[in-house]
Amino acid sequence: MIRVAILGATGYTARELLELLLRHPEVEVTALGTRQEDGPHLAEVHPALRSRLDLRLENLTPAEVAQRADCVFGCLPHGASAEVISDLLDNECRVIDFSADYRLNDPQVYQAWYQVEHPDPERMGKTVYGLPELYREQIRGAQLVANPGCYPTAAILGLAPLLKARVIDPQGIVIDAKSGITGAGRSPKPNLHFPECNENLTPYNIGKHRHTPEIDQILSTWANVETNVIFTPHLIPMDRGELITAYADVKAGTTGEQLLETLQGFYQDEPFVRVVDHLPGTKDVAHTNFCDVTARVVGSKAVIVSVIDNLIKGASGAAVQNFNVIYDFPETMGLL
């Protein structure tokens, strides 16, 4: 039984994580962290979890967390996350970090995109990126795992095997991404007010979204090519679900069937990636840890479609999958 703590327990990813962990036979949730002082009960913060777990949220020091938990899921904002995590690691906790703090290798790139100096630059580039489909071996037994961003998960799972197989051109890749509103977090904001985003569809942060360097870094290093993706996210009026439609110049003569075969070959033993020949929708994977992916050739382009649930495979499900890999539990435990 692994004793588990969740830091930043008020958000949507924490709620989703709790729902998964409460079904996990090898987990005991022992602490819930918050930076709020009043220490509300979990049932007040997440009414859906009433009667499931009798814990209050607490403002805990890293040392207190380390005393109570073997493994910490960090759902803190970037910057704040790395500060706490380096203390937790010193206290011999394992950590699965939902923030972006340990995903990028280069402190300069981090500072350029996140507008803060990284508080723990020496761990950058030495931390495994928690996408088991690409980095399973490095995740086994790791003390710290950087849980991937939601958009990067969907984009990388769709593109990486095709880049590796050299059937698409790494230059000029367009990733047109669409996400449900939970992807933007639980804090009320004018543009996330119900009547503003309901019955509305808006692009945002075109060319400026922080997931851009993360996608480029992983695609480039893993497939050993240089990419410079054009990344364009859109907000969709639904709770959850993320779909990326990616466009890349296809190697001359390559057919859609060949793209599918490449994907099928790569993912054939993966429990959570389903290569399909129909066009998948986000609802096919809602409330699951699956990523459904397909590809077509249209004219000179490969069109790749990839769907995930941003809260599960794009966050909390991936974290549990990483947890299972770290501790050598069956990888689907608590996830099916």
Interaction with its own copies in 159-218: which residues (CB under 8 A)?
Answer: 172, 174, 176, 178, 180-182, 186-190, 192-204, 206-207
Of the residues 123, 264, 296, 333, which one makes contact with its own copies according to CB under 8 A: 296
Instruction: Give me the least distance between CB of 322 and its own copies, in Å please.
Output: 20
- Catalytic residues, by residue number, are 150
Instruction: Give me the least distance between CB of 304 and its own copies, in Å please.
Output: 10
Tell me which residues in 17-56 interact with its own copies (CB under 8 A).
Answer: 22-23, 47-48, 50-52
Tell me which residues in 76-95 interact with its own copies (CB under 8 A).
Answer: none
For residues 66 and 218, which CB has a smaller minimum distance to its own copies in the complex? 218
Q: In whole angstroms, what separates CA 163 from the centre of its chain?
A: 21
b/e map 4-29, b = 16+ CB within 10 Å = bbbbbbbbbbbbbbbbbbeebeebeb
For residues 140 and 283, which CB has a smaller minimum distance to its own copies in the complex? 283
Instruction: Give me the least distance between CB of 120 and its own copies, in Å please.
Output: 30
- Tell me how many residues contact its own copies (CB under 8 A): 73
Instruction: Give me the least distance between CB of 280 and its own copies, in Å please.
Output: 7
DSSP lists the bridge partners of residue 62 as none
Instruction: Give me the least distance between CB of 122 and its own copies, in Å please.
Output: 31
Q: Is residue 106 close enough to count as binding its own copies by CB under 8 A?
A: no
| CA atoms of 170 and 58, how far apart (whole Å) | 47
Which residue do the tokens 């906790």 mark? 93
- Show the tokens assigned to 123: 């761990």
* Residue 32 parent element (H or E): strand 27-33
108 phi, psi to nearest 5 deg: -65, -45
Instruction: Give me the least distance between CB of 192 and its own copies, in Å please.
Output: 5
For residues 195 and 253, which CB has a smaller minimum distance to its own copies in the complex? 195
- Show the tokens assigned to 4: 């588990």
For residues 218 and 243, which CB has a smaller minimum distance to its own copies in the complex? 243
212, 176, 177, 182: which is closest to 197 by C-alpha?
A: 182
180 phi, psi to nearest 5 deg: -65, 170
For residues 98 and 231, which CB has a smaller minimum distance to its own copies in the complex? 231
User: What's the alpha-carbon Rg for the chain, to the nearest Å?
Assistant: 19
Tell me which residues in 218-277 interact with its own copies (CB under 8 A).
Answer: 228, 230, 232, 234, 236-241, 243, 245, 247, 249, 274, 276
For residues 106 and 284, which CB has a smaller minimum distance to its own copies in the complex? 284
What is the DSSP annotation of 126-164? TSEE--HHHHHHHHTT-SEEEPPPHHHHHHHHHHHHHHH
